[in-house]
């Protein structure tokens, strides 16, 4: 297996300079002056000692100096996971039925087991770290009080789980040689499960949804009974789950919201990979618990499944068993209340998408679509809210050992200058060139492990490891602004296998935004609470207006003579 470089510890002075440059457009003059003074004090007093501590810590590990804190930041989330950090992906079915997809995904798990999956490469040709791919053994987040844990199956599983009508159906997915069964075996299994008309009045997945410590207490109580321990192990270690349900009359956005926020609680939301299939719309989704893996890894797994030709594997009668919890009277009494409490929260979440069509127009070769879409988000934010707040742009750094994502701050003085010219319908090429160059420089810094956000977080963690006083710098207005995401944005590039995805905003009044270079144009998918309905309607209209102006700029109408 290729050896990845470890995440570097950036130069302290360079990080402080990057921080000041990136936070400046977000602050007024008074707050920026105070922020600059706080940086000077931090850089000369406490920061050098913290930098030395971080460098020493990094030198002691062959993993990432950030990975343990990264995992802990997810595992300590105490709110229901679909409303906090889980993600829902809309998968392109490519004409394949659910049985075909189940067989293909099991085939990818078999390939991983037999070492047949080569490490993917970045566009620059660097192999990625395969640590995230361990979920193909069978894995799950495990509820615990205070901080959850994450379990990767000690022995790779041969089974998958299907959630339907409140039960957990366990299916043998791999044969005795750890190869996936033929798609017909999975089709028969799905048909048998759908033919079972029984409904469990106490659905297996409900304990997930109180969230945090309450889920941990319930799960511990369930697991303490010998007759429940087996089901708990299945939920945690089976290869992946499939949730099958029927919800009529949902458009694509509503269907994605249903699979992401799970208002009907039909997903064991502590599982990294649950494939959700709506039999009414015949749409396929992937609900992801986000602790161990990122979207790039999931896209890679789905892409490998899409490449499976569907004709391989041994045909056999499906081996299916049905499972439910053994509950106390008190637990049975609490079950419907937990369901109602979560449903009341989840039904407030919305997803709305919009495509800005190219309509035959073109973008100059070599121009970053990623940057252009970020500029349109700034255009929409200024139009909707009248000011600019912080944006998080995720950048994959899995080419480092145990690398996850780095944070890019795409709002710059250069981008705002270009966006202002677009708002005035006077876009200038020189302003666009400067904005594109700055965005490219920030992406490059992130890709090489030089991002300011993660480095400053590392210094903060170094202070906690020393049990020393956390410097006032980290409590300053500038740093709080810099580390709070009003727009949390992410992309997986094109829509070849994953059409779009949804996730809850990371701040109470913010928006979660996926942006995708679709075949027909720029696709934006906005996730938000219902209280933002009016603002999101304006935001989407502004995206359309800004996109139209940008396309006209690139494709001007011929002048009339």
- What number is the average pLDDT over the span 10-22? 98
pLDDT confidence of residue 474 = 96
pLDDT confidence of residue 440 = 98
Q: What secondary structure does DSSP assign to 477-488, as a single string? A: HHHHHHT--SEE
Compute the C-alpha angle 317/322/324, nearest 5°.
170
Q: What is the pLDDT of residues 483-507, one digit of tens each?
A: 999 999 999 999 999 999 999 999 9
Residue count (the chain): 561
Q: Would you name the residues annotated as active-site residues?
A: 290
- What's the pLDDT band for 313 if we cut at 50, 70, 90? very high
| Strands of 201-341, DSSP E | 241-245, 274-278, 283-288, 320-323
- Dihedral sign for Cα atoms in the order 169, 272, 335, 502: negative
- What's the pLDDT band for 2 if we cut at 50, 70, 90? low
Q: Which helix (H) or strand (E) holds 168?
A: strand 167-172
Take residue 530 and report the two structure tokens written for it: 């219902």
| Strands of 213-282, DSSP E | 241-245, 274-278
Q: Is 403 exposed, middle or buried (0-12, 13-18, 19+ CB in 10 A)?
A: buried
499: left (phi over 0), alpha (psi -120 to 50) or beta: alpha
Q: What is the pLDDT of residues 156-190, one digit of tens each?
A: 999 999 999 999 999 999 999 999 999 999 999 99
Please tell me what DSSP assigns to residue 129: P
- What number is the average pLDDT over the span 501-516? 96
Please give the mean pLDDT across all residues of the chain: 96
Domains along the sequence of the chain with CATH: 1-62+451-483 (1.10.275.20), 85-347 (3.30.559.70), 350-449+485-554 (3.30.559.10)
- Decide: 165 and 266 in contact? Cβ < 8 Å: no
Tell me the CB-side half-sphere exposure of residue 296, using CA atoms within 13 A: 22
Helix axes of 226-237 and 212-223: crossing angle, nearest 10 degrees: 120
Please tell me what DSSP assigns to residue 497: S
pLDDT confidence of residue 444 = 96
Helix axes of 47-59 and 452-465: crossing angle, nearest 10 degrees: 90
- Count of CB atoms situated within 10 Å of the CB of 555: 13
pLDDT confidence of residue 310 = 74
| Strands of 246-404, DSSP E | 274-278, 283-288, 320-323, 349-357, 391-396
- What number is the average pLDDT over the span 442-456? 96
Q: What is the pLDDT of residues 280-312, one digit of tens each?
A: 999 999 999 999 999 999 999 999 999 998 778
pLDDT confidence of residue 560 = 65
Place of tokens 């903060």: 460
- What's the pLDDT band for 246 if we cut at 50, 70, 90? very high
- What number is the average pLDDT over the span 21-37? 98
- What's the pLDDT band for 88 if we cut at 50, 70, 90? very high
- What's the pLDDT band for 561 if we cut at 50, 70, 90? low
Take residue 256 and report the two structure tokens written for it: 């994605």
- Count of CB atoms situated within 10 Å of the CB of 340: 9
- What number is the average pLDDT over the span 520-542? 98
pLDDT confidence of residue 1 = 46
pLDDT confidence of residue 124 = 84
Place of tokens 């209280």: 531
Q: What secondary structure does DSSP assign to 407-455, as a single string? A: EE----HHHHHHHHHHHTT---HHHHHHHHHHHHHHHHHHHTT--HHHH
Q: Please give the share of the chain, as a percent, with pLDDT higher than 70.
A: 99
pLDDT above 60: residue 51: yes
Q: What is the pLDDT of residues 249-291, one digit of tens each?
A: 999 999 999 999 999 999 999 999 999 999 999 999 999 999 9
pLDDT above 80: residue 3: no
Place of tokens 């319908």: 425
Give CA–CA dist 82/505, Å, rounded.
Answer: 11
- Count of CB atoms situated within 10 Å of the CB of 314: 12
pLDDT above 60: residue 217: yes
């Amino acid at each position: 297996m290729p050896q990845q470089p470890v995440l570097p510890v950036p130069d302290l002075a360079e990080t402080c300079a990057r921080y000041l440059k990136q936070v400046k457009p977000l602050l007024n003059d008074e707050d920026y002056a105070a922020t600059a003074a706080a940086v000077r004090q931090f850089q000369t007093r406490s920061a050098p000692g913290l930098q030395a501590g971080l460098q020493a810590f990094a030198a002691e590990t062959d993993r990432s100096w950030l990975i343990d804190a990264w995992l802990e930041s997810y595992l300590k989330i105490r709110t229901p996971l679909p409303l906090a950090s889980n993600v829902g992906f809309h998968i392109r079915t490519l004409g394949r039925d659910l049985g075909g997809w189940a067989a293909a995904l099991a085939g990818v798990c078999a390939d991983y087991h037999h070492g047949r999956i080569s490490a993917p490469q970045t566009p620059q040709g660097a192999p990625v770290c395969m640590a995230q791919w361990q979920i193909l053994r069978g894995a799950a987040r495990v509820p615990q009080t205070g901080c959850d844990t994450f379990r990767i199956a000690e022995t790779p599983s041969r089974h998958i789980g299907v959630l339907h009508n409140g039960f957990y159906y366990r299916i043998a997915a791999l044969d005795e040689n750890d190869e996936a069964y033929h798609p017909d075996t999975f089709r028969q299994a799905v048909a048998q499960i759908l033919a079972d008309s029984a409904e469990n009045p106490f659905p297996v997945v409900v304990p997930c949804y109180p969230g945090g410590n309450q889920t941990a207490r319930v799960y511990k109580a369930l697991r303490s009974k010998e007759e429940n321990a087996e089901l708990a192990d299945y939920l945690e270690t089976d290869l992946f789950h499939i949730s099958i349900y029927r919800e009529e009359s949902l458009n694509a956005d509503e269907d994605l919201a249903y699979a992401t926020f799970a208002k009907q609680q039909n997903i064991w939301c502590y599982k990294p990979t649950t494939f959700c299939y709506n039999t009414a719309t015949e749409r396929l989704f992937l609900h992801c618990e986000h602790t161990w893996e990122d979207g790039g890894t999931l896209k890679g797994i789905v892409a490998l499944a899409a490449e499976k030709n569907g004709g391989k594997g041994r045909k056999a009668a499906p081996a299916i068993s049905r499972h439910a919890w053994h509950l106390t009277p008190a637990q049975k009494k609490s079950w419907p209340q937990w369901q109602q409490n979560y449903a009341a929260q989840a039904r407030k979440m919305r997803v709305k998408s919009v495509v800005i069509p190219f309509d035959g127009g073109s973008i100059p070769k070599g121009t970053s679509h990623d940057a252009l879409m970020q500029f349109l988000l700034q255009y929409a934010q200024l139009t909707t809210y009248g000011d600019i707040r912080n944006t998080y742009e995720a950048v994959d750094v899995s080419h480092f050992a145990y690398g996850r994502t780095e944070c890019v701050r795409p709002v710059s003085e250069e981008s705002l200058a270009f966006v202002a010219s677009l708002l005035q319908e006077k876009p200038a090429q020189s302003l666009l060139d400067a904005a594109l160059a700055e965005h490219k420089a920030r992406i490059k810094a992130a890709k090489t492990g030089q991002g300011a956000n993660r480095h400053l977080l590392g210094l903060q963690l170094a202070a906690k490891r020393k049990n020393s006083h956390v410097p006032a710098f980290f409590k300053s207005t500038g740093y709080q602004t810099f580390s709070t995401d009003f727009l949390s944005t992410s992309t997986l590039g094109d829509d070849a296998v994953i059409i779009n995805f949804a996730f809850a905003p990371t701040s109470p009044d913010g928006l979660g935004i996926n942006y995708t270079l679709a075949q027909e144009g720029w696709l934006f998918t906005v996730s938000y609470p219902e209280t933002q309905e009016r603002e999101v309607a304006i935001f989407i209209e502004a995206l359309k207006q800004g996109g139209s102006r940008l396309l006209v700029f690139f494709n001007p109408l011929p002048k009339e003579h």
